[in-house]
Structure 1
Amino acid sequence: MRELVVRESGREVYDFMSKYVDVSSPDTLIVATTTAFNIEKQPQPTFKSIVNLRRINDIRWMNKFFEVVNAKLDYGSIFISSAETYTLRKRRILKKFPPVLNWMYYTVDFAAKRVSPKVWGMKKVYFFVTRGQNRVISKAETLGRLYSCGFEIVEEKTINGHLFFITRKVGEPAFDYNPTYGPMISLKRYGKSGKIIKVHKMRTMHAYSEYLQGYVYDQNQLEEGGKFKNDFRVTTMGRLMRKFWIDELPMFLNVLKGDMKLVGVRPLSKHYFNLYTEEVRERRIKYKPGLVPPFYVDLPKSLEEIMESEIKYLDSYDKNPLRTDWKYFWLAFNNIVFKQARSN
Structure 2
Amino acid sequence: YNKLSTGGLLVGSFIPLENFDSHLRGQMPHFLYAIMLPFYFIFHRVFPKLAITKQIYFILTDGKNRTLSKAEIFGRLSFCGFKMVKYETIGNQIYFTCKKSKTISEEQSPSYGPIVKLKRIGHHGRIIVIYKFRTMYPFSEFIQKDVFEENNLDASGKFLNDFRITSWGRILRKYFIDEIPQLYNWLRSDINLVGVRAISKHYYNLYPKELQELRINFKPGLIPPYYADMPTTFDEIVESEVRYLQKKKEKPIITNMIYFVKALINIIFSGARSK
Q: Which TM bucket (shorter chain)?
A: over 0.9
SS at match of 1:286: coil
Bigger RCO of structures 1 and 2 (CA < 8 A, at least 6 apart): 2
Q: Which residue identity is paired with 2:105?
A: A
Matching residue of 1:211:
142
Per-residue deviation, 1:160: 6.1
Q: Choose from 261, 269, 275 the match for 2:206.
A: 275
Contact 2:176 2:274 in 1 (8 A): no
Q: Alignment identity in percent?
A: 42
Q: Does 1:328 align with 2:253?
A: no
**Which one of the candidate residues 25, 28, 33 is aligned to 1:94?**
25
Q: CA deviation at 1:338?
A: 1.1
| Post-superposition offset of 1:120 | 2.5
Q: 2:42 aligns with which of 111, 121, 127?
A: 111
Q: By how many angstroms is 1:159 displaced?
A: 4.1
Cα distance in 2 for partners of 1:278, 1:85 equals 39
Distance 1:133 1:170 in 2: 26
User: Which of 108, 112, 129 is 1:177 aligned to?
Assistant: 108
Q: Which of 216, 221, 245 does residue 314 from structure 1 map onto?
A: 245
Equivalent residues, number: 275
Deviation at 1:215, TM superposition (A): 1.1
Offset of 1:102 from its aligned partner? 1.9
Alpha-carbon contact 2:23-2:92 (below 8 Å) kept: yes
Aligned with 1:158: secondary structure?
strand
Q: Deviations over 1:108-157 (max 9, x none)?
A: 21111011111221100110111112111110000000111111111112
Contact 1:205/1:234 (<8 A) preserved: yes
**For 1:218 and 1:265, how far apart are their aligned partners in 2?**
24
User: What RMSD in Å do the two structures reach over aligned CA positions?
Assistant: 1.4
Q: Matches of residues 61-76 of structure 1 in structure 2 within 5 Å?
A: 69=1, 71-76=2-7
> Is residue 252 of structure 2 the alignment partner of residue 297 of structure 1?
no
C-alpha change, 1:176 and 1:104, in structure 2 (3 Å) is: farther
TM-score after normalising by structure 1: 0.77
CA contact (8 A) 1:216 1:228 kept: yes
- Unpaired segments of 5 or more residues in structure 1? 1-68
2 CA distance for matches of 1:214 and 1:84?
Answer: 23
106-115 or 183-192, which deviates more: 106-115
The CA distance in 2 between the partners of 1:307 and 1:175, in whole Å, is 32
Gaps of 5+ in 2: none
- The one-letter code of the counterpart of 2:269 is F
1:296-318, Cα deviation, whole Å (9 max, x unpaired): 01111121111100000011101
Deviations 1:207-231 (A, max 9, x none): 0000111111111111121111111
User: Larger Rg: 1 or 2?
Assistant: 1
**2: CA distance between counterparts of 1:237 and 1:206?**
11
Give the alignment's TM-score, normalised by structure 2: 0.96
Please say which of residues 154-163 and 180-189 is displaced more in the overlay. Answer: 154-163
Q: 1:201 matched to which residue of 2?
A: 132
